[in-house]
Structure 1
Amino acid sequence: MAGFRNGWGLVRARPRTIAVAVALALSPLLAGAQADPSSLYPRIIEAREQSRFVPDQALTTLLRLQSEAAGAPPATQAELFNQLSVANMRAGKNDAAMAAADRLIAYGKSLHDDSITAKGLMAKSYVLFDRAEVDASHQMVFDAEKLAATSTNLALRSQIEVTVGQAYAEMGNFPAALVKLQNGVDTARQVTDDPVMLFGALNALVNLYTQLKEYDKASTALDELLNETEKLHSPGRMAIAKNTEYGLAIDSGQPKRALRALLQSLDLERKMGAERMIGMTLVNLSDSYLKEHDYPRAAQYANESLRSTQQTNDKSVEATARVNLGQAYLGMGRIAEGKKQYEAGMARYEQENNKPDLQAALREYGEALERVGDLAGAVSAYHRERAISNELFEKRRQQSVLELQEKYEAEKKQRQIQLLSQENQVKGTEIDNRRLQQRVWWLLALVFALASMVVGLLYRKVRHANAQLEVKNLELKAQSTLDPLTSLYNRRHFQDFMRGMMPPDPAQPEKRTVHGDDIVGALFLLDVDHFKNINDRYGHAAGDAVLKMIAENLRIALRETDMIVRWGGEEFLAFLPAIPRHGVDEIARRILVGISSQAIRYQEHEISVNVSVGFAPFPLVPADVPLPWERAVNLVDMALYLAKAHGRNRAYGVRGFENFEQTSMEAIEQDLESAWRAGYVDLSVVLGGDPETPPPSPSEHSNVVPLKHAAHKAGH
């Protein structure tokens, strides 16, 4: 799993924690403040750097300086409140940190100083993030950005731009995050009196480029970061830069460079006694050995990180250490211990409500459980990951539609302004005409002619504008029903279509062809196997090419009358309204073979792709009562996960139900595999070419395997 980057360094499995914001908080929040005649302000700045690495000692110094701050200038007093908040938070005293931040906000408001108030909001946002109150933390950052919009304090503006960028990254809005971080770096270059600002901004930018897999740009920014760090002559800052170098190296496939950077960082941190940084670097070392499948050493470093983070009360890094320890234990065969540690770590991720991180952790959790044979646990993890994936996909889709709507509204307003301007011009012309009528009667005919021409032109322009509005309306309607990448229908359109269908009537006899074959509808749900590996290895552009290829293959394999839907990130759904019942398995086979037989040429790579499929006739009718379409799709989704858990590159189909009076639909939906083994569900499996593992009960000389009888044997 990709690591997360922050001001301290890189920690496994998380894009960013509060440490990112704190890294900036420890930059001079009041860089460019007026010089204090006494030595108080320089001593506060010294304590700021001390707080970066040994916060307990810095807190003692800052508390001692409080007695000298009464008559100091506002900028100096504000910086003292800010550093008290930061140092208390780093020392694990969040209540005291919050009190100092609130005092700073009140101080700024009493002076009617928006810059000081914005700094207070930033300090409070860091404490909220450390408490896992992520949404409230983001809101504080956005409020601070509004207050500081017109500030002449370049250091403050750079800090806020970078922190807002990191907040957008946590929310999954990476384009906005990149714009903010690039602006933050540009602003930091103008802060000539403190190079630490540029260090923090560059560090955040390298981490974001790495997360986006823009490794060339990340490498260029890293070179500048290391060059600026050398100028600071700070062992602590160099340790941070080395952790950032580790993040880029491990993600771009340079394990030796990554390990060397980590060990250099750990040596610097231990010499300084920076325990909080040590805990993070130890968890990164654990991650490094996990990638090499050296599970004993990964567990050793994860345990060391746990002991360190428990001393510093760093809950976020402790959670990541537990996830690493859980994966190491699973790799060593200590399944119960591994699951316990993994779940404990993910509980913190859920508390922080950081959906992208939790999704990545669940995906790895499912793969790890699948490797050790815990298929039920793997399916459960995949279901949890799927729910988050669908939620994030829907948010991104809604965001795209909103952006298009905003653009449309802006263009509409501009056209209205133009029309109003033209109307004003006409009115002015009419006034001039009246004056001309009074003075020069012989020009009356000419004036009327000119007015007619103007009206005609305006009429034509209005007609043209209305035509353009109609085109835009059609474009907007298409955007709301089609997926922009694949040009397939989107989930919302399918849901609206199914809600508009008349529910099936069990009292009506089923239609039959002249051959006597049953005619049914069918649902197919497919998921790309190991899609994350394609994105990780070749980049998201290659992943997009794969999705387009699958969409095209589905158009070829299915009919024009069939509805094909981009269901989620790498999921597709097909609804076939009328096919012979005996042909459902054959269509599943056609989908599997059609996709696996194609290879994508991307740059110099050739990428082969398989899919797993769940399918069923529609409607599904247990006990003479048709299932609603939502429950039918859910059952097909469970069949899909059986296909993934039993080896991938295959399709599992729900044919029907048996002995339904002895069970219930709720029990079947709770555990489809157990219901099949108990003989309540009739399944079939269709194998793709060269599947990874054989099905549970294969029939010889066939790639379509009926599972009904095998289920009875397995169940008893």
Structure 2
Amino acid sequence: MSSRQRCLALALALSIASSAAAGADTRPLAQRLEQIREVNRFVPERAMPMLLAIEQEGRAAPLELRIEFLNQLSGGYDGLGKLDEALAVAEELVALGRRHGHNGAMAKGLLRKAYMAYRHAELLDSHQLTWEAERLANLTDDVELKVRATIAAGDAFTEQGNFPKALERLQSAAALARKHGDPTQIVMSLNALIELYGQMREYDKGFETLAEAVAAAEKAHSPGRMSTLKHAEYSLAAATGQYQRGLKALLDSLAIERSIGADSMVAYTLVNLSDCYLKLRDYVNAAAYAEQSIVAARALNDAGLEATGRLNLGQAYLATGRLVDGKRHIEAGMSAYENLGDQPELQSVLVEYGQALERAGDLPGALRAYHRERKISNELFERRRQRAVLDLQEKYETEKKQRQIELLRSENEVNSLQQRIWWLLVAVFALASVVVGLLYRKVRHTNAQLHEKNKELKQQSVRDPLTGLYNRRHFLDYMRTTPQAPVQAGPDQCGALFLLDVDHFKHINDTFGHAAGDAVLTAISNSLGEILRETDMIVRWGGEEFLAFLPSIPRSGLDEVAQRILSGISAVAVVHGEHRLAVNVSIGFAPFPLSCGGLVLPWERAVNMVDMALYMAKSHGRNRAYGVQGFADAGQVCMEDIEQNLEGAWRAGKVKMSVVLGNQASAVQAA
């Protein structure tokens, strides 16, 4: 059957179902639910009126049909974005299953609840619900339910980054679907497997699986399933740089979706088309499809989709020189992400926005985007750190309770032994004393272990779990409780602040994975420990940033330290799997305390000045260090102006700076 014939088949199903909803439909309820099911999967806006028309009959139907009706009703509300209504029906489905001891009903309801938790970004709850649904589904004879639950479990492991378990689950789902012979189930399982292969960067396997899935979709006569596979093909093609193939897949998908009236799918395809044209640098078409996607998203009341469309439109405008319009749309898109609470996506957008502004020559705007991205990065980093500390505390409390139980058990044993001793001859009293002494030593040993664990927990609160360096909290506490002026051996001595940022760190994460990024951060922290002295404080400042505080150093030696750091880190080769990664850093530095005339800047403003110097190093080519050495006559400068635009003040002669180049130049420039 051709694509056109498949589209006509679904259109016929829509026509029959609509006609049935308009007049009296005498067909059995099971037949009508089966007719609505495929429509509900891809065109929920058409299916929901049909479901609501038979709601009274569906709720009064025999148990199996009632379960199927409630499952479809929850799915329809979900497809329309009515998450509260979808969750309420899912809860009703779970309660129905518990009341009748029906594992299938409970599994379907829990799967629906898991989807709702995922929509609200509650991933931990979503995964727990999914795995419980999988357990219950495997207790039934419902093959389709087993396939769906196994796919959902595989997706949950994928979201955790546990690719081996995800692969095992999804391959099991595909094997079960093949054994059952239902082409729709085969397409579902293979589509999830294609997405996993894409994340694992095993693109050849992804394309092989895609070919099998397309053949199954042909047999299923489902244009909606074929459309989802076109999106899978686009993802693989874009990941492998085959943008023309990806563009054709999206245009084919758009034609299918419009022919069956799948408005929500059309909206997402329009967004992907605008993104694809951006990659192809066809900014006219990118803007056109972005504008269409915004209109479609508004019709669906989908704020996240509209935000993505605005970001694409803004990038297209920036690329064509329409800076004001581009900024307006990008800022509107980012504001929507802020309202939705999607900080990881907002951080990624800010990186791209800053780079686009830098290319357009708007350095102040790029600097603002950079600082916003750094702030979000630090907030996310702090949340992960707090989560790690809470996990450690939870583990410690569990171990502490276990030790208390063991201690109580030991004490009970002592009491039992003492009762026996009273009934023994006086001759065994010495033996009882020995036993008590041993138990007392055991208690003392346990208390000593508890003391050590408390010390370990305190140490963890001021150390970064990945690198073992001091964390930002420790540095802030140190600066608040330590006098501003460092200990000086003479007039030629000073303290110093060095702020480092790993160059192209996002590219490393995106290309080789977060495990490679962690290996890079660990290698850099070890290298800094070798380059700097034991008396120097090295801090993991946030994400990929490090701060070094040197309490005492010759004033003439700051550039030399910067050169040592640049050269030392560039010489480190990070081995990750089969790859050897070479990394560089950009640095901003300044003496500390930093003063202008008789005014000594507070340490917070000194750190901000170093941060601005770091940004200059990033924007002037990376792999270099920019150092603030001092200021012109205090009567001729305004610190507030310098803090607003350090580069402009430098070029105007109000700030004395030095530039230290990395390996490519290996020289120190002064200005």
TM-score by length of 1: 0.75
Asked if 1:548 is matched to 2:537, the reply is no
Greater mean deviation of Cα atoms: 485-494 or 654-663: 654-663
Q: 1:142 to 1:598 in 2, by over 3 A?
A: closer
Structure 2 equivalent of residue 673 of structure 1: 647
Q: 1:483 to 1:77 in 2, by over 3 A?
A: same
Instruction: Tell me which of 50, 53, 73 is aligned to 2:42.
Output: 53
> Deviation digits for residues 290-332 of structure 1, max 9, x if unmatched?
3344444434443443444344443322322222232233333
Measure the CA separation in 2 of the matches of 1:201 and 1:478. 47
Q: 1:454 to 1:39 in 2, by over 3 A?
A: farther
Q: How does 1:233-632 map to 2 (within 5 A)?
A: 233-251=221-239, 255=243, 258-259=246-247, 261-435=249-423, 437=424, 441=425, 444-445=426-427, 447-504=428-485, 511=488, 513=490, 517-622=491-596, 624-632=598-606
Quote how far apart the aligned CAs of 1:347 are.
Answer: 2.1
Structure 1 equivalent of residue 626 of structure 2: 652
Instruction: Tell me which of 12, 24, 39 is aligned to 2:28.
Output: 39
Q: Is the 8 A contact 1:118 1:144 kept in 2?
A: no
One-letter amino acid matched to 2:611: D
Quote how far apart the aligned CAs of 1:363 are.
Answer: 0.8
Quote how far apart the aligned CAs of 1:572 are.
Answer: 1.0
Quote how far apart the aligned CAs of 1:632 are.
Answer: 1.9
Structure 1 equivalent of residue 160 of structure 2: 174
Greater mean deviation of Cα atoms: 200-209 or 461-470: 200-209
User: Secondary structure at the residue paired with 1:559?
Assistant: coil
Measure the CA separation in 2 of the matches of 1:474 and 1:41. 65
Q: 1:469 to 1:216 in 2, by over 3 A?
A: farther
Quote how far apart the aligned CAs of 1:178 are.
Answer: 9.2
Greater mean deviation of Cα atoms: 627-636 or 660-669: 660-669
Structure 1 equivalent of residue 669 of structure 2: 704
Quote how far apart the aligned CAs of 1:454 are.
Answer: 3.3
Q: Is the 8 A contact 1:290 1:298 kept in 2?
A: yes
Q: Is the 8 A contact 1:651 1:686 kept in 2?
A: yes
Greater mean deviation of Cα atoms: 320-329 or 142-151: 142-151
Among all aligned residue pairs of Structure 1 and Structure 2, give the percentage whose two residues are the same amino acid.
52
One-letter amino acid matched to 2:43: V
Q: 1:210 to 1:388 in 2, by over 3 A?
A: farther
Measure the CA separation in 2 of the matches of 1:101 and 1:414. 38
Bigger share in helix = 2
Q: Is the 8 A contact 1:481 1:489 kept in 2?
A: yes
> Deviation digits for residues 462-483 of structure 1, max 9, x if unmatched?
3443454344344434433333
User: Secondary structure at the residue paired with 2:54?
Assistant: helix
Measure the CA separation in 2 of the matches of 1:157 and 1:403. 33
Alignment length (residue pairs)? 637
TM-score by length of 2: 0.79
Q: 1:647 to 1:388 in 2, by over 3 A?
A: same
Q: 1:448 to 1:99 in 2, by over 3 A?
A: same
Unmatched 5+ residue regions in structure 2?
1-25
Measure the CA separation in 1 of the matches of 2:606 and 2:523. 27
User: Secondary structure at the residue paired with 1:333?
Assistant: coil
Aligned residues: CA RMSD: 4.5
Q: Is the 8 A contact 1:182 1:205 kept in 2?
A: no
Measure the CA separation in 2 of the matches of 1:485 and 1:421. 37
Quote how far apart the aligned CAs of 1:688 are.
Answer: 2.6
Measure the CA separation in 2 of the matches of 1:596 and 1:252. 30
User: Secondary structure at the residue paired with 2:600?
Assistant: coil
Quote how far apart the aligned CAs of 1:569 are.
Answer: 1.8
Q: Is the 8 A contact 1:159 1:184 kept in 2?
A: no
Q: Is the 8 A contact 2:153 2:169 kept in 1?
A: no
User: Secondary structure at the residue paired with 2:543?
Assistant: coil
Measure the CA separation in 1 of the matches of 2:208 and 2:412. 55
Q: 1:207 to 1:385 in 2, by over 3 A?
A: farther
Measure the CA separation in 2 of the matches of 1:161 and 1:634. 51
One-letter amino acid matched to 2:473: R
One-letter amino acid matched to 2:49: T
Q: Is the 8 A contact 2:592 2:606 kept in 1?
A: yes
Instruction: Tell me which of 33, 37, 53 is aligned to 1:64.
Output: 53
Measure the CA separation in 2 of the matches of 1:223 and 1:459. 71
Higher RCO (Cα < 8 Å, 6 or more apart): 1
Measure the CA separation in 2 of the matches of 1:315 and 1:164. 28
User: Secondary structure at the residue paired with 1:642?
Assistant: helix
User: Secondary structure at the residue paired with 1:567?
Assistant: strand
Quote how far apart the aligned CAs of 1:604 are.
Answer: 5.0
Measure the CA separation in 1 of the matches of 2:181 and 2:57. 25
One-letter amino acid matched to 2:45: D
Greater mean deviation of Cα atoms: 177-186 or 664-673: 177-186
Q: 1:425 to 1:157 in 2, by over 3 A?
A: farther
Unmatched 5+ residue regions in structure 1?
1-36, 692-700, 707-716
Measure the CA separation in 2 of the matches of 1:220 and 1:452. 75
